[in-house]
Amino acid sequence: MKIGIACDHGAYEAKEAIKEMLIEEGHEVKDFGTYSTASCDYPDFAYACAKSVSEKENERGIVICGTGIGVSITANKVKGIRCALCSETTSARLTREHNDSNVLAMGQRTCGIEIMKDIVHTWINTPYSQDERHQRRIDKITEIEQK
């Protein structure tokens, strides 16, 4: 799978660990930065990653900051993005099954890196259910986005 990944300075360590895990699992990873722990602005990196998913350059995206809140808000501003902020595996599984989320947001300050790896693994490997009721709801979200 082609996966974009981005973070701010508060989540650099987590991004690097998750990127390494994804590459080891055979995924193609595009790193949108940041590339150090120097202070930076999360919208710059989250937007670039989300846009790559919206434009089909990447199949999915992962955005990380201190809490995951800022990057999730940013990613959800991009047309076609359904970004879910997850801090445990049940939500990661359900957002794929029910919402067909295409971007995952997490917070390094709110989750340990090993838990984040479990969340990513669950999210990457859970298929969308294709259930009619879930698709109907996703279609309604898309309609709202079109307005």
Tell me the catalytic residues: 65, 98
Question: With contact defined as beta carbons under 8 Å apart, do 111 and 130 qualify?
Answer: no
Question: With contact defined as beta carbons under 8 Å apart, do 3 and 124 qualify?
Answer: yes
Residue 71 CA to residue 6 CA, distance in Å, equals 9
Helix (DSSP H) and strand (DSSP E) numbers for the chain:
6, 5
